[in-house]
Amino acid sequence: MKIICTYCAEINIFDLFHFKIYNWIMKFKEEYFFCSPRLLRNVDEVHEIFSCIDSIKWKPEFEIQHNGMEYKHQTAYNKAFDAEFFNYDWQPQPTLCKSPKLIGDYQKNDVFVEIQFGNSATIYRDYYKFHFGLTKNLLSLAVLIVPTKPKEFFPIRPASVNNMAEFDFAYRYFKLLPIPVPILLLGLLPEN
């Protein structure tokens, strides 16, 4: 038996039971800039992005093993997202331009994704990449995934999250810019 979830993706009843029992769905919030949430509900790539986030459980001290190596915190989340996007055949580290070098995290068709756990200044660079890709017809939707409340998202690493890129900062920045770039902003919540 299948059910339609909030984002209209089919979920097997067993999977839904598994998620509910183990709380494996990371929560997130979303904002749309120069694009329609209603229209994006019909874009398969957007469903895949939501599924990638849903597949990763938030933990105060996140760890993952990948290729025999153990990763923690921000690096662990990056590795977890690598594995999830790989499952949906997304191109890792797509190059928009060689000089200056503009590389993203993932791309599929004309949807370009950046996941940002770095310094808040990186949001300006990401926006430049989004604008460049749009003007060169290399993308039609940019997706930025950032934590909300970094000190709560990474509670045992307060020094590493000072001035970290985060949802509210990106939201204010994208609202101020007069250049229309279609962006889906996703904020990872420190809860399941």
Query: What percent of the chain stands above pLDDT 90?
Result: 70
Which pLDDT score, from 0 to 100, does residue 159 have?
79
Mean pLDDT of 164-170: 95
Task: Tell me if 9 is assigned to some domain.
Answer: no
Mean pLDDT of 144-164: 89
Task: Tell me if 177 is assigned to some domain.
Answer: yes
Mean pLDDT of 140-158: 92
Mean pLDDT, the chain, whole residue set: 86
The model's pLDDT over 116-133, given as tens digits with 9 standing for 90+, comes to: 999 999 999 999 999 999
Task: Tell me if 15 is assigned to some domain.
Answer: no
The model's pLDDT over 10-32, given as tens digits with 9 standing for 90+, comes to: 333 333 333 333 445 789 999 99
- Supply 176's token pair: 């101020």
Which pLDDT score, from 0 to 100, does residue 177 have?
84
Strand partners, 63: 72
Rounded Cα distance between 165 and 173, Å, is: 11
181 touches 134 (CB < 8 A):
yes
Task: Tell me if 1 is assigned to some domain.
Answer: no
Task: Tell me if 37 is assigned to some domain.
Answer: yes
Task: Tell me if 5 is assigned to some domain.
Answer: no
Which pLDDT score, from 0 to 100, does residue 192 have?
80
Tally the domains of the chain: 1
Residue 55: CATH number of its domain: 3.40.91.20
Task: Tell me if 14 is assigned to some domain.
Answer: no
Which pLDDT score, from 0 to 100, does residue 24 have?
55
The model's pLDDT over 34-70, given as tens digits with 9 standing for 90+, comes to: 999 998 989 999 999 999 999 999 998 999 988 889 9
Sign of CA dihedral 104, 108, 96, 184: negative
Which pLDDT score, from 0 to 100, does residue 183 have?
96
The range of the structural domain enclosing residue 177 comes to 23-188
pLDDT band at 178; cut points 50, 70, 90: confident
Which pLDDT score, from 0 to 100, does residue 14 have?
35
Q: What is the DSSP string of 98-155?
A: TTTTEE-SEEETTEEEEE--SBTTHHHHHHHHHHHHHHTTS-SEEEEEEESSHHHHST
- Tell whether the model's pLDDT for residue 95 goes beyond 50: yes
Task: Tell me if 3 is assigned to some domain.
Answer: no
Rounded Cα distance between 24 and 41, Å, is: 22
- Tell whether the model's pLDDT for residue 3 goes beyond 60: no
